[in-house]
Structure formats: structure tokens, C-alpha cells
Amino acid sequence: MRYYLKFHNHKSIILHYLTSLCIMIMKILSFLRKACLSIILLSLLSAPEAKAQSKVEIDLGADIVSGYVWRGSKAAGASVQPFISASISDFTLGAWGSSDISPNFSSSEGYKEVNFYASYSVAGFGLTVTDYWWDGNEAFRYFSSPANGYSGHMLEGSLAYTLPDSFPLTLSWNTFFLGKGNKKENGKNSYSTYIEAAYPFTVRDVDLKVAMGFSPWESIIYGTTSFKFTNIMLGASKRLKIKDSFSLPVFANIITNPSTEDINFVFGITIK
């Protein structure tokens, strides 16, 4: 009898707490429902104004380059690099790719890269998340785990800040945080990071840009074991006038990698 009373008391206490919890949950759900209805109503009321102010902008084109050099490291020879993006307000979704045009472009030795990204920019700051895929031709398995010897998808987060127009220096921090190809031999993530400072300026009618970037620690992506400068670049671009009604954007970049003691001189044209 004593054990029955003890169990009965515990049961009453449990039922009391369960009842109180249910009442609390119902109140929370009621509050959330009212909040959601208020947000929806506010969105409907402000939709015409937002629609009038927002406009989708599409950017589509391709670069044809004598060589593909990324952050100081040569990835491929002559390549075609298409790009497309859609922007609305401060948000952008885009895709960028690269395929080499060497004699082996259709074989397993040919280079192929397809990247997708999402970015948000405001008040000089830019936040970007990029999905890199550069396993190349005949790697396949784009929608599944990569085979042995391949990297598969790798995700990178980037944060950049550009100073005011009086001194438009851009500082950026880029870190790979997810992906098989970014892991050390012990299986740990190397968090490969690239930090860059870039400054644009103009001389006569030529747009120039100087950039310097480094990897601050051991990196699988950049092949460094400690702090190393991996990219020093001087770039120039202008519109080459073909005739009065047509001009062709061209650019040239001298890129050196102090870490590997390599240098590349890349020329390209942009078609838009």
C-alpha cells in the first residue's frame, strides 16, 4: 500500500508537469502563429513597394585565357571560363566554371571545374559561400561521395571589406571549412586559408590592380606547411577599340608565387 501511494504521488506530480508543459507549448505555438500571421500581413502590405524597388540583374559572359592561375597556382593551360549570376538588392547567386582547350580537353587529363556561390554585400562588407568542384573530366560522382583520389565538393567561406572610394583597398579572408580534399593525412581538416589585400587604380585609360595574398598556416589546398606568401599579382585591363561601335575587353596579369618560386603571365579576353 505504501509503495502504491508513493507511485501514485509520483504519477500525480508527473501528470501535473506534463499538463503544465502542454499548456506552455500551446501558448508558444499560439504566439508563433500570431507572429507568423503578422509577418505575412506585413510582407503583403510592403510587397508592392519592395517589388518596385527590387530588380533582378543578370550577368552572363565568359573569359578566354591563355592560362588558368588561381591564387598564385597554375591549374590549367588555355581555358574557357563561363560565368553567370543573378542579383537582387544585396544578394547574388552565381556559377563559374573553367574547361581547358588543350588537345586533351576531352580525356580524363582535361581540366574541368564548376563552382556555385551565394553572396551578400552591404556597407562595404561582402560575405560569400562557394561550392568548389574541380575533380575534372571522367571523375563523375558529382551528386555522390567522391571516389578514391578525388576531392569532391569543397565549401569555402569568404569575408571581404572594401574601404571607401577615396582609398578602395579590399581585404579578404577565405577559408575552406568542409570537403575531403581539404583534409590532412591524419584525417583532420586543415582549414586551408587564403588572405589577400588588393588595390585598384587607373593610369590613363588602363585599369590596374595590385594584389598580395598568403596562407597563414599549414594548408592542403595551397600546399604550404606554415605561413607562406602564395600570390603577388599585377593586373591590367582595358577595352580595346575595334571600331566605333565595338570594343573588346582585354586583360593581362603577371602572377608570381613566392612559395613555389613560380611565375605566370596570363592574357585574356572577356565576352559579354
CATH tag, 55-271: 2.40.160.40
Distance CA 207, CA 194 (A): 24
Task: Tell me what pLDDT residue 138 has.
Answer: 78
Full DSSP string of 187-243 = S-B---EEEEEEEEEEETTEEEEEEEEEE-S-BTTTTBSSSEEEEEEEEEEEEEEEE
pLDDT tens-digit readout, 145-201: 888 888 899 999 999 999 999 999 999 999 999 999 899 988 899 999 999 999 999
Task: Tell me what pLDDT residue 53 has.
Answer: 56
- Return the C-alpha cell found at 80: 574557357
pLDDT tens-digit readout, 10-56: 545 554 544 554 455 444 444 444 544 444 454 445 445 545 556 99
Q: Which residues of 248-270 are buried (b: 16+ CB within 10 A; e: fewer)?
A: ebebebebbbebeeeebebebeb
Look at the pTM and tell me if it is higher than 0.75: yes
For the chain, which residues make up each domain, given as ranges?
1-53, 55-271
- Inter-CA distances, 32 with 23, 27, 36, 39, Å: 14, 9, 6, 10
pLDDT tens-digit readout, 195-240: 999 999 999 999 999 999 999 999 999 999 999 999 999 999 999 9
